[in-house]
Structure 1
Amino acid sequence: MSQPSITALILSFNEEVHIGRCLERIAPLASRVIVIDSFSTDRTVEIARAMGAEVHQHAFTNQAAQLQWALDTIAIDSDWIIRIDCDEYLELALIDEIKAKLPALPADVTALDLKLKVLFKGKFIRWGAYYRTWLTRMWRPGAGRMEQRWMDERLLITRGRAERLTGGDLVDASLKDIGWWTAKHNAYATRQMIDFIAREHGLIGEEDGQLTASARKRRGLRKLYGGAPLYLRAVLYFLQRYFLRLGFLDGRLGFVWHFLHGFWFFVLMDAKIDEARTWIAAHSLAEFPRYLVETYGIADTGIAWDR
């Protein structure tokens, strides 16, 4: 059987430290690499073009909107699409499995789930139940679309079904410092707050298409978490992750990761939700866009807050 063609979609913004590694690692798999850049001010675009990537630039709102813009705007005629972030790469064993399995997959398999492995400062985060995360990162063109959420977006499968690839991992291995990490998660907490407030007021509904079984399970757990009291839920989540699910076995760097990612981040998210709720109660939901502009510099959410 001939080897199916694969197009890689990569979102970027000021990723000169990562883009070279990302492109080098994906080159043995993808016949076409498309970088969707949010007008980087460093050498990201220069490096990407020098390494043969096709670069498109588009103003960034959130990951879901950026990816869907690419799917709607750029003609992709390959057999498969893979989404990968600049600070990620595929293990060689996973690349080998993809090459071996893709030609023989039945037509009703339209998406593939990859297992996520996080390396934090070079430390493999094995415990705390985090090394159980499956992400739908490969799909056949036309068989899926991005769920339009401000955070925690997933691929919605519009036909067929998904299978898991178990021969290797999708590795998240940032090379940037802890200041960058906390700044990024501060921005993530803001996006989580926007998504939470919009859904709390019924301004965002369910979309057509289905999540994979892995994504449905994670979404169910997030809904359960979302219904718990602010702040208390962050404490309980950290305790079960770090102690009941043995996160402490990840050692010194593991403590930093689990504390920042599994406690600080969730408390910060709740604080932003709490602050937003207080502001809305004092003003109105219709005026919430003004709060987002004045507080976070976010001018366009694509959400009708005055409904």
Structure 2
Amino acid sequence: MADITVIILTYNEEKHIERCIRSLKPFAKRVVLVDSLSTDRTVEIADSLGAEVLQNRWPGNHAIQFQWGLDNAHLTTEWVMKLDADEYVLPELAEEISQKLPALDNDIGGIYMKRRVFFMGKWIKYGGYYPTWLLRIWRNGKGRMEQRWMDEHIKLVEGRTIRFEHDFVDDNLHGLTAWTQKHNHYATREAVDILNILYGFRKYDSVRPNLFGTQEERKRWLKMKYASMPLFLRPALYFTMRYFLKAGFLDGRPGLVWHTLQGGWYRFLVDAKIYEIYHKAGRDKEKILDLLAKEYDINLKEG
């Protein structure tokens, strides 16, 4: 058993939460759910599996909710791990965590792990989507959640990082209708995040963009370049790169659906939402801020 607490955000995750918690049993000392007042059996299932449950009304932002969990879980373990409810740890990774974590040098502050995405029962291996390296384990007190509207990561404040060999899995079981509804919501947050890059509404204490840094630093740099490209051209180029240049077509028919929706439709929807905001507010910073506050209940004004 490793000296680690796993924190999971939940809202109506009865379809996923048992699979998630059971994958943590071989190595986690504590499993803590930060639940946004679920109305299904999420809390009941978690209780039955020995997880602890903290409840906090959804604040409208993933980063704020996760940081609330970090601040209120009374963490005493040496290590902390972040996992989503629709994710689970493979047995090989669970064993690796159990064996390697206690022996790590004191100057190691964080651990990157590979995420496998499954979609319609298919492991999405191509299109630049695997491996995706994410910092998901860090020493207690050495990491904080970026306070962004989208694409938030854990920012390590001290120590060096290493990589573990084995994978965890992202496999959402809710189906295509729920997926598109969720990504419609994500598209609004992504649009706000891109507008923030362009207009500098609010400064983030975030991962440093760096073309030659870690994968997440490189992706942050590329996102800033992406944000400067023309509306509607960039999603077309992005889909072309993923599906053709990075061989997304090798993922078969599920991959066709995945790369078209996640790499094409979703990115186009983000631009459509930005276009709508420009149509209503023009490109004036203050008018955009006022529109976001009035119509989207998103206040990005400093102070």
Q: TM-score, normalised by structure 2?
A: 0.93
| 1:186-225 matches, cutoff 5 A | 186-207=184-205, 213-225=214-226
Residue of structure 1 in register with 2:130 after alignment: 131
Q: Which amino acid aligns with 1:182?
A: T
Change (3 A) 1:130 1:71: same
Residue of structure 2 in register with 1:252 after alignment: 253
State the Cα deviation string for residues 172-217 of structure 1 (Å, max 9, x = none).
Answer: 0111110000011111101111222233221222417768722101
Distance 1:156 1:282 in 2: 31
Residue of structure 2 in register with 1:155 after alignment: 154
State the Cα deviation string for residues 71-92 of structure 1 (Å, max 9, x = none).
Answer: 1222100011110001101111
Instruction: Note the residue ranges of structure 2 that are not aligned, 5 or more in a row.
Output: none
8 Å Cα contact 2:111/2:163 also seen in 1:
yes
3-state SS of 2:205 partner: coil
Residue of structure 2 in register with 1:43 after alignment: 41
Distance 1:173 1:252 in 2: 17
Aligned residues: 297
Q: Which amino acid aligns with 1:218?
A: K
Which deviates more, 42-51 or 191-200? 191-200
Residue of structure 2 in register with 1:29 after alignment: 27
Residue of structure 2 in register with 1:296 after alignment: none
Where do 4+ consecutive residues of structure 1 move more than 6 Å? none
Which deviates more, 283-292 or 231-240? 283-292
In the TM superposition, residue 114 of structure 1 has moved relative to its aligned partner by: 0.7
3-state SS of 1:31 partner: strand
Residue of structure 2 in register with 1:62 after alignment: 61
Please point out which of 282, 285, 290 is paired with 2:288: 285
Distance 2:162 2:207 in 1: 16
Distance 1:57 1:208 in 2: 26
Distance 1:208 1:188 in 2: 19
Residue of structure 1 in register with 2:9 after alignment: 11
Distance 2:189 2:174 in 1: 21
Residue of structure 2 in register with 1:232 after alignment: 233
Residue of structure 2 in register with 1:52 after alignment: 50
Identity across matched positions, percent: 43
Change (3 A) 1:33 1:302: farther
3-state SS of 1:99 partner: helix
State the Cα deviation string for residues 60-113 of structure 1 (Å, max 9, x = none).
Answer: 221111111111222100011110001101111111111121122111111111
Change (3 A) 1:17 1:187: same
Distance 1:208 1:239 in 2: 29
8 Å Cα contact 1:158/1:210 also seen in 2:
no
Distance 1:196 1:87 in 2: 26
8 Å Cα contact 1:158/1:209 also seen in 2:
no
Instruction: Note the residue ranges of structure 1 that are not aligned, 5 or more in a row.
Output: 294-298
Distance 1:224 1:199 in 2: 10
Please point out which of 168, 182, 185 is paired with 1:184: 182
Aligned-CA RMSD value: 1.8
In the TM superposition, residue 277 of structure 1 has moved relative to its aligned partner by: 2.0
Change (3 A) 1:208 1:124: closer
Q: Which amino acid aligns with 2:269?
A: L
Distance 1:232 1:210 in 2: 26
| 1:92-171 matches, cutoff 5 A | 92-166=91-165, 168-171=166-169
3-state SS of 2:183 partner: helix
3-state SS of 2:130 partner: helix
Residue of structure 1 in register with 2:271 after alignment: 270
Distance 1:302 1:32 in 2: 35
Distance 2:283 2:224 in 1: 27
3-state SS of 2:15 partner: coil
8 Å Cα contact 1:8/1:81 also seen in 2:
yes
Q: Which amino acid aligns with 1:8?
A: V
Q: Which amino acid aligns with 1:40?
A: S
In the TM superposition, residue 302 of structure 1 has moved relative to its aligned partner by: 5.1
Distance 2:141 2:96 in 1: 23
8 Å Cα contact 1:119/1:125 also seen in 2:
yes
